Structure formats: structure tokens, C-alpha cells
Amino acid sequence: MLQIKKMTTGIIIILLLITLLPHQTSAVGVSAQTAILIDQESGRVLFEKDAHKKMRIASITKIMTAILAIESGKLEEMVTVSDRVLKAEGSSIYLQKGEKIKLEDLVYGLMLRSGNDSAVAIAEHVGGSLEGFVIMMNQKAAEIGMTNTEFANPHGLDDHENHFSTAYDMAILTQYAMKNETYQKISGTETHRAPNPNEKWDRVWHNKNKLLTQLYEYSTGGKTGYTVRAKRTLVSTATKDGFDTIVVTLNDPNDWKDHMNLHNYAYSHFELVKLKDKGTLKGIEEDFYHNKIFLERDVIYPLTKEEQDKVNINVKLQKPDEEWEREEVVPNVVGNLLVKIDERKIAEVPIYFDNGKVEKPKGSFWEMFRNLFFAVSGVK
């Protein structure tokens, strides 16, 4: 009897231990007040925690400053440092009054060393004034769908109350910026050397992003941030076996670890699945569309093992119009390819008609479909 009691007690203890051990579920713990993990290509949200809550963002603001400078087409121009540049507080690349420095070097100083003086110099040169540049920042934010963001300066310092964003919006911004090869290069640079006008030696800037320089083998770049009120903010990009991911955390005391865990979560729980090949859509019953409609790019989406068995793909096409006797009058886009998991829509991809005048979309998958491809969370 005593032996049976001991066995029963042992079984109960084992069951309790199993219950208390962490399970491999879709839930991920992070220290951040708000956080998000997305697939860079499709924009699918793979994890989020209060991702739409408006927060102070500190120096990850500089992602917007950097991409606007790059898109200005002025990277080879020389910038003259003004008095206002020298008044920027906080982190600095120690610009000197009146010196001339290439805009490209300013962007490196901005991203690698988080120079607030560099941010002001960029703003004045690209925007004509700091105030003019802030207008550009907010226009770009609206253009790319950052609906819960307002910029009041180019650096992220706590000198304005109306300077905020969300983890989700910053992920959208990073996704947009990563389409640009120059941004990718600068964001992923560990060390940059720039001329120093008043010394015999060059300035040498080492990237503050420890994920890139020390901690994480899959890191491809990102931006650090900190102010007294915002606390630690961080944006990171990573890639493993062609799977590109973006993580944003706001007010996170343990951000390095959280970012590695979130990227690893994506790589261990999801895989990129080609749902449809680019090119001509086959098996279309409508004679008018036979061998005349196509997808411009492969449709690739991150899915869990369980989701892969639940994917449904449907084609929705416009009814041919009587006026479409001549193919050149047929619209470029004549329908959508709908991708669902069970009854939940995860993708809506345009279907093109080969009317002889289709302008081939350029850029990444996200650039083509960001107005049609609504990313939804896969976390249950």
C-alpha cells in the first residue's frame, strides 16, 4: 500500500512538472511594453504585443530620416554644418561649425552612431530647413500607411510631445526602407570611415547595434534608440535561409534577448511556402481569359505546419465587358487571387491581363501589393 502511495505521489509530481514547464506554443514572452514581429516580404504579422499603442520611439525615428535622405538623390552633395546643427543635444558625431561633409557620410553617422547633430544637418540640407524636413517625414509616413505616427523632429529626442509612433508603424517603415539597397547597405554596415576636415586622421564610426556586431549571426541591420522618457527602443532585421524578418520593440529593458528570441521564433515556427508560381494562370474556365492572365511574382507566404493544410486559393475575375473586343482596352488588373486559411483571408493578389500595355511592377513583393496585401496576425 505504501509503495502504491509513493508511486501515485510520484506520478502527480511528474504531471505537475509537465504542466509547469514552458510549452512550445504560439505565445512568446517579451519584456517590451509593445512589440511586433513581421515577415519582411509579405508583411504578415507573426507576433504582436500592443503593437498599435502610440509610444515615444527615440532614435529609431532616424530610420525615416535616413530613407528620406537616400531617396533625395543628394547623397553625393556636400552639406555645410550650421549653428543649429551644433545645438543638437545627446549622441553626436561631433560635427564642426562650417565644415563641409558629404550627405552620404552624414547618413552613416546617423545610423551607426545615432548622431543627433547629423540628423539636423540632414534635415536642413534635404528639407531646406528642419521644419520643412519634418513635413516631409509626415508626408512619407502617410504615404506608406503609418496611420498612428506623428514626427516632430528628425532625431527622436524628447523635446516635443507630439512625436510618437507604434511598433506596427515602425515595422511598416522598416519594411519600406529595406526595399532600398542603399539603406540595406548602410543599416547593415559595422564600421564606416569618413574624412575629418581638421585632422590628419579619418573619423571611424562603429555601429551601436550589438545584434549586428556581436550577438546574432542572422542580423542584417536595424537601429537602436534611447531617451529618458522613451527608454530603450530597437528595430532589427534578420534573415535565415531566405526568410527575412523584422522586429520592433518599444520600452524594452531586455531588447537584445527579446529580438533574438522573436527572430528565432519566426524561423522555428513558420516556413516560407510558395502558394502560386508567377506567370500565366492555368485552368481558367472563362474562354476570354484563357492563357491571357498572369501573376507578376511568385506568391510566397510564411505559414505554420498546421496552416499549410488549411490553405485555400480562389480566383476572382471581372466579367468580360462588351467593350473589351479590342484587348488593348481591357484593364491591366482584371481580378484577384484570394488566399485563405479556413475562411480567414490572408492575401489578395492582383491578376494582370496581357493586353500588350501592362506596365510591369517594379520592386519587391511588398511594394507591388502593399495596398492589396493585408497582413494579419498568425498568432492564436
**Among this protein's residues, is 114 annotated catalytic?**
yes
pLDDT of 93 higher than 50: yes
CA-to-CA distance for 212 and 221, rounded, in angstroms?
Answer: 6
CA–CA separation, 85 vs 147, rounded Å? 30
Pick the more confident residue, 199 or 8: 199
Higher-scoring residue by pLDDT: 375, 151: 151
pLDDT digits (tens, 9 = 90+) for 274-320: 999 999 998 888 889 988 999 998 899 999 999 999 999 999 999 99
Show Cβ contacts of residue 300 under 8 Å, excluding neighbours closer than 6 positions.
Answer: 41, 42, 272, 273, 274, 275, 365
Catalytic annotation present for 82: no
Q: Residues 59, 165, 187, 219: which is the catalytic one? A: 59
Report the SS3 class of residue 236.
Answer: strand
Percent of the chain exceeding pLDDT 70 equals 86
**Residue 56 to residues 155, 177, 223, Cα–Cα distance (Å):** 12, 20, 15
Q: Has 59 been annotated as catalytic? A: yes
How far, in Å, CA of 6 to CA of 145, rounded?
63
Q: How confident is the model at residue 357 (pLDDT cuts 50, 70, 90)?
A: low
Q: SS3 for 4?
A: helix
Query: What digits encode the pLDDT tens for the residues 244-285?
Result: 999 999 999 999 999 999 999 999 999 999 999 999 998 888
At 29, list the grid cell.
514572452
Is the pLDDT confidence value at 162 over 80? yes
**Structure confidence by residue, pLDDT tens digits, 323-352:** 888 888 899 999 999 999 988 888 889 999
pTM equals 0.83
Where would I find the beta strands (DSSP E) of 331-378? 333-341, 344-353
Q: Which of 114, 118, 219, 236 is catalytic?
A: 114
C-alpha 115: how far from its chain's center? 22
